[in-house]
Amino acid sequence: MTQPGPPASGSPHAGRILRECVVVEGHRDVYEQVHRTSLGEPDPINAAIVPRLLRDGIDLSVYAIGGDSYAHTQNTGRYLETTLENIDQLLQASVAPGCRFSLVRCREDLPGAVEPGHLRILLHLEGGRPLQGGIAQLRNLHRLGVRSMQPTWNLRNELGDGVWENRTKGGLTRFGVEVIAEMNRLGMVVDLSHMNREGFYQVLEVARAPVIVSHANACGVYDHVRNLDDAQMKAIAGQGGLVGILALPFTVAGRDSSIEHMLSHIDYMADRIGVQHIALGMDFVKYDGPRSLRDGHDPRAEPPVVRGFEEIEDLPNLIDGLLAHGWSDADVAAILGGNYLRVLSTILPGRDG
């Protein structure tokens, strides 16, 4: 397994912004947790994952604890059961001696300011297969702390079609409509990452709260099925949502993607929907361990990374890049976390809600 190196230093200006601003990481998968557990580590969350995120300045991480990919299921295909096992491991870690993280369940749990040494985690599902076609499982997972969900990952499930199913022109199913309505009632984040275009617009028709796309880039900079066109970005902004940038090379500029290409996506998005609707999505894979062929990955290959922005430890490089592109400190702070906090505070319920 690739081991984390020291955090990138960046400029003193970038370091100050990172220390003073709340940083929200909009998408991180459970894959590293699953992989480290498979190697026999008893508590990878407290021993490795949380310490690294705290070291690198993260205040809140949206954490995909389960979903539709084979890797989410510990390579078993047991979508609900392994989601429950992953949640159990995290909840056990949350009460272990020396734990330095807590779950976000309501808007009062959101960080109001930087709190050194404490990480907040918002539980997410990257696709609705763990629901097994039943609305009761959505409510049960919500009771366990899940506060965000994508209807789909890349493929088809009971809620609708993912981006790899674009040929079918299928969209949101009747069950999918029921799920979106219940998520709105419960105060859960509806995330349209990975959903095909038909389903994307159908969700916007039925949603009664802001909708986000936590990790995607701009088709206008690099045309890829996982990216959004201008109309999609404007539709998200029009409902008060946001788009989080995606740090995977095949959505940035191809195999030889660099941090400068990522900055081009941010500039392009801001020109069209305003900086107030842009956030950090990322979806880093550097420490995930091998992924299954069933997910369309070669487990023997090196993880695909963007030069200069391989993992969250490289965030000072992105901050320096934004400053070099003329962004103000206030705009950088909004992208780092301010925009995400604003949108989450409008979707999540209050403590007594």
Residues 6+ apart with CB under 8 A from 8: 313, 314, 315, 316, 317
Per-residue confidence band for 166, with pLDDT thresholds at 50, 70 and 90: confident
Among 158, 162, 157, 207, CA closest to 180 = 207
Q: Report the domain count for the chain.
A: 1
Q: What's the rounded mean pLDDT across residues 314-342?
A: 98
- In 138-256, where do the E strands start and end? 146-150, 189-190, 243-246
Share of the chain above pLDDT 70, in %: 97
Share of the chain above pLDDT 90, in %: 90
Which residue do the tokens 């909009």 mark?
A: 26
What is the pLDDT at residue 353? Answer: 66
What is the pLDDT at residue 301? Answer: 83
Q: pLDDT digits over 217-235, tens only?
A: 999 999 999 999 999 999 9
339 versus 2: the higher-pLDDT residue is 339
What is the pLDDT at residue 279? Answer: 98
CA 1 to CA 52: how far, in whole Å? 15
Indicate whether 114 belongs to any domain: yes
Per-residue confidence band for 2, with pLDDT thresholds at 50, 70 and 90: very low
Domain membership of residue 291 as a residue range? 12-347
What is the pLDDT at residue 299? Answer: 78
Residues 6+ apart with CB under 8 A from 95: none
182 has pLDDT over 50: yes
Indicate whether 1 belongs to any domain: no
Indicate whether 7 belongs to any domain: no
6 has pLDDT over 60: no
Per-residue confidence band for 8, with pLDDT thresholds at 50, 70 and 90: low
Indicate whether 3 belongs to any domain: no
Indicate whether 5 belongs to any domain: no
- DSSP class of residue 329 equals H
Average pLDDT score over the chain: 95
Q: pLDDT digits over 79-131, tens only?
A: 999 999 999 999 999 999 999 999 999 999 999 999 999 999 999 999 999 99
3 has pLDDT over 90: no
Indicate whether 4 belongs to any domain: no
252 has pLDDT over 90: yes
Indicate the pTM of the whole model. Answer: 0.96
Q: pLDDT digits over 256-302, tens only?
A: 999 999 999 999 999 999 999 999 999 999 998 887 777 777 778 88
What is the pLDDT at residue 297? Answer: 76
CA 146 to CA 87: how far, in whole Å? 9
3-state secondary structure of 146: strand
301 versus 245: the higher-pLDDT residue is 245
What is the pLDDT at residue 4? Answer: 47
Indicate whether 227 belongs to any domain: yes
What is the pLDDT at residue 7? Answer: 53
CA 217 to CA 33: how far, in whole Å? 26
349 has pLDDT over 80: yes
State the CATH number of the domain containing residue 253. Answer: 3.20.20.140
What is the pLDDT at residue 294? Answer: 79
Indicate whether 353 belongs to any domain: no
Query: What is the sign, positive or negative, of the torsion defined by CA atoms of 211, 213, 218, 223?
Result: negative
Per-residue confidence band for 59, with pLDDT thresholds at 50, 70 and 90: very high
